């Protein structure tokens, strides 16, 4: 099984750090760290893993498609103007049943292993979901704009990563 893990936004936040918390925590950095850990866990589980962060979504999508990846996971942090908004949600492409299955496996693992609010599995037409040839999901780990979620994102990266990796292996084992 070949997994393509994409860390959201630009490497080292240049030029796009994604969402930034009032305290200065950057989405691109959290995603980078979590993505690397997901890759380590999946490699340990015997998967072949490509991990990639790029400001160019075309580069990401063509990398996943060219390498004929079996699944695609993009890692992000959410943000909202309302500082009370918090929780985890996982998106798949409209009407994709394989995408829904992968999203459900990952969402279930995250909400059962971390003290996050379960915002559920949702459909969306994001570029990376629309243009990848394989079952693909975009995980919004938690809200960087909420103080409690931000602490989790800083202190529990390994737990998020382990949960995502278990979600992927759950998906693979029921394939
Ligand atoms: Zn993002």
pLDDT digits (tens, 9 = 90+) for 62-109: 999 999 999 999 999 999 999 999 999 999 999 999 999 999 999 999
pLDDT at 174 (0 to 100): 83
Q: Give the Å distance between the CA of 138 and the centre of ligand 1.
A: 9
* pTM for the structure as a whole: 0.98
* Cα 153 to ligand 1 centroid, rounded to whole Å: 14
Query: Of all helices (H) and strands (E), which one includes residue 106?
Result: helix 97-113
Are the C-beta atoms of residues 102 and 109 closer than 8 Å to each other?
no
SS3 content of the chain, % helix, strand, coil (to 5): 45, 25, 30
Q: Output the CA 74–ligand 1 centroid distance in Å.
A: 9
Between the CA of 170 and the centroid of ligand 1 the distance, in Å, is: 25
142, 78 in Cβ contact below 8 A?
Answer: yes
What is the average pLDDT across 48-55?
98
Q: Domains in the chain: how many in total?
A: 1
- Residue-wise pLDDT for 108-159, tens only, equals 999 999 999 999 999 999 999 999 999 999 999 999 999 999 999 999 999 9
d(Cα 100, Cα 94) in Å, to the nearest integer?
9
With beta carbons less than 8 A apart as the criterion, state whether 116 and 110 touch.
Answer: yes
Measured distance CA(116)–CA(114) in Å, rounded: 6
Using the mean position of ligand 1's atoms as its centre, give its distance from the Cα of residue 129 in Å. Answer: 13
What separation in Å is there between the alpha carbon of 150 and the centre of ligand 1? 14
- Residue 156 has a pLDDT of 98
Measured at the CA of 105, the angle between CA 101 and CA 107, to 5 degrees, comes to: 110
80: left (phi over 0), alpha (psi -120 to 50) or beta: beta
Residue with tokens 């292993």: 113
- Note down the domain range covering 49: 2-173
Question: How many CB atoms are located within 10 Å of the residue 149 CB?
Answer: 26
CATH code where residue 107 lies: 3.40.630.40
- Mean pLDDT confidence for 24-40: 98
Rounded mean pLDDT, 48-63: 98
User: What pLDDT, on the 0 to 100 scale, is given for residue 106?
Assistant: 98
């Amino acid at each position: 099984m070949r997994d393509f893990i994409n860390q959201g936004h630009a490497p080292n936040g240049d030029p796009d750090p994604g969402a930034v918390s009032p305290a200065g925590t950057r989405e691109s950095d959290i995603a980078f760290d979590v993505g690397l850990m997901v890759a380590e866990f999946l490699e340990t589980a015997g998967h072949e893993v490509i991990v990639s962060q790029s400001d160019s979504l075309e580069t990401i999508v063509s990398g996943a498609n060219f390498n004929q990846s079996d699944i695609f996971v993009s890692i992000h942090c959410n943000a909202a103007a309302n500082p009370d908004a918090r929780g985890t949600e996982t998106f798949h492409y409209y009407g994709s049943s394989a995408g829904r299955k992968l999203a459900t496996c990952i969402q279930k693992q995250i909400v059962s292993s971390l003290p996050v609010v379960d915002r559920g599995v949702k459909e969306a037409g994001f570029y990376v979901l629309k243009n990848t040839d394989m079952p693909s999901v975009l995980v919004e780990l938690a809200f960087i704009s909420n103080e409690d979620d931000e602490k989790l994102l800083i202190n529990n990266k390994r737990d998020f990563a382990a949960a995502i990796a278990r979600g992927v292996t759950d998906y693979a084992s029921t394939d």
